[in-house]
Chains A and B, each alone.
Chain A
Amino acid sequence: MHFTKRGFLGAAAAATLALAPLPALAQEWEPSRPIDFVIMAGPGGGADQIARFIQSVVEKNDMTSRPLVPNNKGGGSGAEALLHMSQVRDTDHTLLVTLNSFFTTPLRQEGLGIDVETFTPIAMMGVDPFVLWVHKDQGITSFDQFVEEVKAADGEWVMGGTGKGQEDSIVIAYMAGAYGLKIKYIPYDGGGAVAKDLAGRQVMATVNNPAEAKGFYDSGDFVPLLAFSDERMESYPDVPTLKEMGHDFSYYNQRAIVGPPGMSEEAASYYRDLFTRVYESEEWQSYLVSESLSPLWMDADGQRAYWQKQVENHRALLAQIDS
């Protein structure tokens, strides 16, 4: 089943490429200098690891004539990276590795004057689901029990996350709203620090991407209670989803590659072709499985439509948090 899905995606991607205008001309363009590979987050986080993994896949298979040079610009929840992209002079040699702050940061900081819909879609490498975790010594085994315990704690239930307005806080805010929970939220400066303080029981629960909690799950320290994906996750088949509980909510972190506004059509199709090959590579496919990412391949128009939908969704979600 998995195989056919992959085959289908590959065929779809190939079809997209064949439909691209002037394919012959597109193949002629090649980067003439190193490609500025901007990452919307600091070194070490989930987005950074994915960017460096992609870089190594490209390097290993010798896919480009010029290297991708990772460039961490995580300041201001990625505002720094977005400004860099919108002001960059050499639009054909700059790419951005995004997460959902691509949508939330321009909404939360309207002064930036960034409209993400002017950016150039390149590739959607996958989406990262979220899971609710507790420490095993907390003695909680099901989500119902979790809800009871949080209610019993009466405002003293502490959860850690990566900051107000960040992906995990949106999920927590929705969950808290849906079940009438009072949660004390402590912001940390990255998913790794959050996982560490759950392992040390400084906080009582977290909402993390599976990749960040995997090591502790394997050792039995962390217990997953609830997934915020559309369907049950392959790696955690016993963990129910919020959707099953009757709430129409799912949330993913997008792992996409984006070009700056004004990238030439030739360069864009070169990069789309490049990342299609990265996506289809064995390395990336096994990375998707090992890090529990969900595939969500789309063509350029699909991505544009997806962005529009995400901006609307996030506008509504952020409004809920602030109210």
Chain B
Amino acid sequence: MEVLGFLADGILMALEPLNLMLILIGVSVGLFIGAMPGLGSVNGVAILLPVTFLVPPGSAIIFLAAIYYGAMYGGAISSVTLGIPGASTAVATTFDGRPLALQGRASLALVTAAIASFIGGSVANVLFTLFAPVLATLALSFGPPEIFALMLLAFATFVGLGGDDIAKTVFSICFGLVLASVGYDQISGAPRLVLLDISGFLHGIGFLVLAIGVYGIGEMLWTIEQTRGEVTTTTPRMTVSGMLADTKEALARGWKGTTIGSFLGFFVGVLPAAGATPGSLMSYGVAKMVSRAPETYGRGNPDGVAAPEAANNSASTGAMLPMLTLGIPGSPTTAILLGGMVIWGLVPGPRLFTTETEFVWGLIGSFYVSNLAALIINLAFIPLFVWMLRMPFTILAPMIFVLSITGGYAATRDMHDIWLIVIFGLGAFFLRKFDYPLAPAVLAIVLGPIAEPTLRQSLLLSSGDPSIFFTRPIAGPITVIALILIFLPALKYLRRRKPAAAE
């Protein structure tokens, strides 16, 4: 097969001494950047720039891909050890990763995340290699109505995520969606919900501001208050045999989530507007939905770590596809990658695959190598991250607060957002006391900015006729499935109520 030949060349190119060295450095750097709350692969660009002047463009983009992979693995580390999702793609990882860490099983959570990430990345790489052009066409057939239907499906998979109190869950979802609409109305081009007319709200409320506030400040305050400052996360000493046991357990208890995440994540990641975050959220939701013991999710189920982690790696690879085949960014990082290509004198677009064969396949080859390198380096660093948890809580806690504030600033560059983080944190502390589930709000603030504009673009297309979501060949079935999933729990609930009422 022609493709395999190209791929072999690409992998060989990635294994050249200079490129291999760049991959190892890139993955390690990415791992640590990704592990910092607030920083992500986007920030890796700053490190990249000087490097691009020293090495050929092919090596530069391989270095970038390595940082990208490393950061994807690193996101799980802050989710598990600090309980703060460092990037929106790692939100779902906190749901089960954090409980595992609190049970003293941080190493199991980290090993599961690493292995699931590797498998997710590998599946995505293979799919990418074999089906890139076909998938590019598929990606183009998703217009606003299709993306909106997909968002509806993402919400549907999360119906069961909230607490027992339905009113509070509904409140939380709507709260997140409303916060997402603060700042600017894309459709009419007018400022919107500029709260108290403070200009800082003009750029909206970012996902990270809410997530760092809720998890980095609110949840930490709650933990300190609940445990009276005596947090004991009895983490066993890390040994090689312990790691091996964790690996076995991770494979045994996380394979289902890994499988779901790998495939679902990839297909959602391929769609330009969606990206890795909805992919990882949907995978978590689906894994929980098909699980025989859904009640164990959120309490430290390795499947709940594996699904989103496999998905976000798989989706991040998928997100490279529209970039390479069409020249369209699927995420901020790929957007900057595209800018990089222009700087290096390449023309991103549909012809890149044919005119710059060596470059494209060198990059794809580096995906394979980076993925493997990231797995090994990540596993090697796990003892270090677990060791961090052994620090006295009176040192760890202020460090987490400091990381939350500095990381928050690094991401937004605005003191206004830092104050918001503090306000959200204190608010979240009280809401947590009254059992308001806050995860739905955090998810809603990620999905809201995709859902609302696509809904309204669709209705503009159809002159205000909502049937557009049912009549289009791809949007129709997705919408129907999403609606069934949303109303299924309600129907079940009613049917259970009926016999009870008859008695």
Contacts and interface: CB of A to CB of B under 8 A. Distances in A.
Interface of A: 42-45, 48-49, 52-53, 55-56, 59-60, 71, 73-77, 79-80, 83, 108-109, 112, 158, 163-166, 184-189, 192-193, 195-197, 199-202, 214-216, 218-219, 221, 290-291
Contacts of B413: 71, 73
B239 to A, nearest CB: 43
A295 to B, nearest CB: 18
Interface string B274-303: 000000000000000000000000000000
A164 B189 CA distance: 5
B232 interface: no
Given A49-B342, A53-B342, A186-B144, 9 more contacts: A44-B329, A44-B336, A44-B339, A49-B339, A185-B460, A187-B187, A215-B327, A215-B347, A215-B352
A195 B329 CA distance: 11
Contact of A215 (B139, B349, B457): B349
A214 B142 contact: no
B336 A184 contact: no
A188 B143 CA distance: 11
B265 interface: no
5 nearest A-B residue pairs (beta carbon): A215-B349, A44-B335, A75-B203, A200-B140, A202-B143
B343 A44 contact: no
Given A43-B335, A53-B342, A221-B350, A165 B189 contact: yes
Contacts of A215: 326-327, 347-352
A77 B204 CA distance: 12
Contacts of A290: 345, 347
A137 to B, nearest CB: 12
Nearest to A76: B202
B471 to A, nearest CB: 15
Contact of A196 (B204, B272, B348, B457): B272
A163 B186 contact: yes
Interface residues of B, number: 50
Interface stretch (B46-54, B155-163, B214-222, B486-494): B46-54
Nearest to B453: A189
Given A193-B273, A215-B351, A218-B349, A83 B202 contact: yes
A154 B445 CA distance: 39
B409 to A, nearest CB: 12
Chain B CB within 10 Å, residue with most, of A55, A188, A291: A188
B141 to A, nearest CB: 6
A158 B145 CA distance: 15
A199 to B, nearest CB: 6
Nearest to A46: B339
Contacts, number: 140
A56 B328 contact: no
A52 B120 CA distance: 32
B410 to A, nearest CB: 11
A199 B189 contact: no
A200 B141 contact: yes
Contacts of A196: 140, 272, 322, 326, 328
Nearest to B201: A75
Nearest to B203: A75
Given A195-B328, A200-B142, A202-B144, A218 B347 contact: yes
A52 B48 CA distance: 12
Contacts of B463: 184
B466 interface: no
A108 B188 CA distance: 12
Contacts of A109: 191
Contact of B343 (A56, A77, A112, A219): A56
Given A44-B335, A109-B191, A219 B350 contact: yes
B461 interface: yes
B191 A56 contact: no
Contact of A56 (B49, B186, B273): B49
Chain A CB within 10 Å, residue with most, of B52, B199, B350: B199
A80 B460 contact: no
Contacts of A197: 143-144
A215 B187 CA distance: 27
27 contacts: A52-B336, A52-B339, A60-B53, A73-B203, A76-B184, A76-B203, A79-B191, A79-B199, A83-B199, A83-B202, A108-B189, A164-B188, A186-B144, A188-B186, A189-B186, A189-B453, A193-B328, A196-B328, A199-B140, A201-B140, A202-B143, A202-B461, A214-B347, A215-B350, A216-B349, A290-B345, A290-B347
B468 to A, nearest CB: 12
Nearest to A75: B203
Contacts of A184: 460-461, 463
B481 to A, nearest CB: 22
A76 B461 contact: no
A118 B427 CA distance: 41
